[in-house]
Amino acid sequence: MFWYSRRLDSGLVVMHARPEHAEQLEALQLVCFPTLADEERFKARHYRKHLELFDEGQFVVLDGDRVVGAAATIRLHFDFAHITHTFGDIIQGGWLTSHAPDGDWLYGADIGVDPAYRGQGLATALYAARQELVWRRGLKGQVTGGMLRGYGAVKHEMSAEDYYAGVVAGRLKDPTLSMQMAVGFEPRALLKDYLQDPVSDNYCALIVLDASKEVPGASRTLARQYVRLTTPVPGPRAKALLDRRAAALPSGLGRATDVVVDRAHGALIVDVDGNTFIDMASGIGVTGVGNAPAEVVDAVTTQTAKFLHTCSLVTTYEPMVRLAEVLNELTPGTFPKKTIFANSGAEAVENAVKFARKATGRPAVICFEGGYHGRTLLTLTLTSKYGLFKSGFGPFAPDIVRLPIPYLYRTPAGMTEDQYIDFGIRQLEQAFVAQVDPSAVAAVIIEPVQGEAGFIPVPPLFLQRIRELCTQHGIVMIADEVQCGMGRTGKVFASEHYGLVPDLLCTAKSLGGGMPIGAVTGRADLMDSAHPGGVGGTYGGNPVACASALAAVEIIRQPAFLAHATRLGEVMREVMTGWQRAYPIVGDVRGLGPMMLVEFVKDQQSKTPAAPEDTLAIVKGTVARGVVLMRAGLFSNGVRLLPPLTMPEDMLREALDALGQSVAVVSERLAASAAAGKGA
């Protein structure tokens, strides 16, 4: 769990160590402890093992990308009644195998600062990071063996016992122990033959920093939360980069927040000013398995070392073929399937429509109000929400028929939800008479859960009738699961919630684990309908993207992953329905599994959409509280929640609390304004 990040006044950054730091950590130890016995020296492979064992207990200080300080820790059940031990006893064969996941003490096995950076308080900063870990996990404190770094030079003048007593009493100054005591460590005992290093004549002091002690730079408040804000949002470095963006990029490229990312891991984003945010947007649903999970990073790294690109139109390679096999296996339907890859969800949709038209020999495509399918000419034609996405970009592609869809929150007055669904089905059926003949329709494309429209789950009966009509008339049913697929709803595919088997299924976003890739998977006879050379592209099926996707899909398909995702959805619904009872501006809470949205209204009776600026105020207020999210909905009056599905439950609750505070502020402001208006 990588949650700690702190930018020091010097600009150096203290954060959790990561696998890519391993070689630098080995080199740093050589610089910091040049005389240490080699058998007691951590190697790069040990540091990687430490991260597998106890990732949140390993810290580094970075100057840019350079590691200039480090600390390694484990958890132990420490017996102070029997304190005679050696470093070798602790590391047991070269790495921290003594780690007890439920240990009540944090044992510091290693700390070092590059000699060129000493005197800048970096050791104290590392101890502060450790102390926050102590507080966060409710441990008793830190314990470590501190080298008597100055004793080796005076061992012929006094005994180790006298030297230790003099340092403890303050009569002598040791470069390490004296600093540790200044931080707050309490010496408990002198240990002989602890660490084989002549600089200390193999002596060290057992020292303890109790959890009750404060450490400069450590915050009890921040230790118990994930959000860490040290500047306003945006901070000075972020403002500078936003200015550069405005000058270099077109203004039409929207921006949901003022967060300027320096790095991200899991469900946390750290900006260029050192602020840490909880990510509830996942890059619009892309990082479903979290940002930079080790499995994905390893897969990408391994593949990039082999080759970056040879083009699927020119050569064949294992990652592309294997990913196609996996998707053919996972997607709904027992019929033979094939898969083709593209660069994005929009390209996947384009390909799906091309296959449908080629296979049927028909031109028309039916889509639905609220649908979002991309920004290319064809997919932008299919996309709804005219003002935001389409204004001024016409003319659009021909032979597209757009039909209404039951939006149950806005069921017309005088109708029940069942009556509204029946009416929607009748409109669908009538369209095959009034708007287009079935013999002219190549495909019906629909998102099982509409994304940009506001996370609207399509009523099951409506989807079922689409499936029936497509089967009856030889029409290809395309499920666009670019946003709602790949675990986003608590199942691998949203279609599974409905027992729906589409003919073609489009995926992207979470499929790639952060890399750009889209896919169409479906009936082999449809996929084989195009003539050789009729489909494909230069980058479709890029080997690095496919390797990343394979790692991501392997995570997503695991029952434990899907169960956790489902639990996140339950928590979101529980908390958000509480807002619905508490705040008149919360009109609807909806979604499927952990794909959730809250829709804001002027009042719950009329359901008049809240003004876009009020929803934007909620978003900005939440970002200012350290949570990244964005709007959605036909009326831009919803806030969508797309957390990485690996997010811990306590992190989710912290993010929801921040959003809830912003909802409360805007709700109270609007209520006060309405009361003032009535008084006037």
Same domain, residue pair 479 and 522: yes
The pLDDT of residue 77: 87
Looking at 223, 243, 259, which one is the last position of a domain? 223
Residues 392, 395: Cα–Cα separation, whole Å: 9
- Which strands make up the sheet holding 364-368, listed edge to edge? 337-342, 518-523, 504-507, 476-480, 441-446, 364-368, 400-403
Residue 609 — pLDDT band, cuts 50, 70, 90?
Answer: very high
The SS3 call for residue 281 is coil
Same domain, residue pair 123 and 13: yes
**Could you give the number of structural domains in the chain?**
3
Structure tokens at 455: 């996370």
Q: Secondary structure of the chain: what % helix, strand, coil (to 5)? A: 40, 20, 40
Confidence check: pLDDT of 588 > 90: yes
Confidence check: pLDDT of 90 > 70: no
Same domain, residue pair 327 and 187: no
Same domain, residue pair 25 and 82: yes
The pLDDT of residue 32: 85
Residues 261, 251: Cα–Cα separation, whole Å: 19
Residue 216 — pLDDT band, cuts 50, 70, 90?
Answer: very high
Confidence check: pLDDT of 326 > 80: yes
Query: Are 556 and 288 within 8 A, CB to CB?
Result: yes
Same domain, residue pair 180 and 136: yes
The pLDDT of residue 83: 64
CATH code of the domain in which 128 resides: 3.40.630.30
The pLDDT of residue 84: 63
Same domain, residue pair 38 and 156: yes
Give the pLDDT confidence of 535-574 residue by residue, as tens digits: 999 999 999 999 999 999 999 999 999 999 999 999 999 9
* Averaged pLDDT, 427-444: 97
Give the pLDDT confidence of 445-489 residue by residue, as tens digits: 999 999 999 999 999 999 999 999 999 999 999 999 999 999 999
The pLDDT of residue 446: 98
Structure tokens at 17: 């160590």
Half-sphere exposure of 423 toward its Cβ, with a 13 Å CA cutoff?
A: 14
Distance of CA 570 to the CA centre of its chain: 19
Residue 679 — pLDDT band, cuts 50, 70, 90?
Answer: low
Radius of gyration of the chain (CA): 30
The pLDDT of residue 85: 60
Confidence check: pLDDT of 96 > 70: no
Confidence check: pLDDT of 95 > 70: no
* Averaged pLDDT, 525-543: 96
* Averaged pLDDT, 493-500: 97
Give the pLDDT confidence of 371-420 residue by residue, as tens digits: 999 999 999 999 998 888 999 999 999 999 999 999 999 999 999 999 99
CATH code of the domain in which 510 resides: 3.40.640.10
Amino acid sitting at position 498: Y
What are the angstrom distances between the C-alpha of 121 and each of 9, 65, 124?
11, 19, 5
* Averaged pLDDT, 230-255: 96
Same domain, residue pair 190 and 274: no
Question: Considering all CA atoms of the chain, what is the largest pairwise distance in Å, rounded to the nearest integer?
Answer: 104
Same domain, residue pair 16 and 128: yes
Q: Which DSSP helix (H) or strand (E) runs through 457?
A: strand 456-457
Same domain, residue pair 375 and 272: no
Same domain, residue pair 564 and 521: no
What is the domain range of residue 553? 294-557
Looking at 223, 252, 270, which one is the last position of a domain? 223
Average pLDDT, the chain: 94
Residue 675 — pLDDT band, cuts 50, 70, 90?
Answer: confident
Same domain, residue pair 232 and 267: yes
The pLDDT of residue 191: 84
Give the pLDDT confidence of 172-202 residue by residue, as tens digits: 999 989 999 999 999 988 888 877 778 888 8
Looking at 223, 239, 261, which one is the last position of a domain? 223
CATH code of the domain in which 568 resides: 3.90.1150.10
Same domain, residue pair 280 and 400: no
Q: Which spans in 16-153 are helix H? A: 22-32, 44-54, 87-91, 122-137
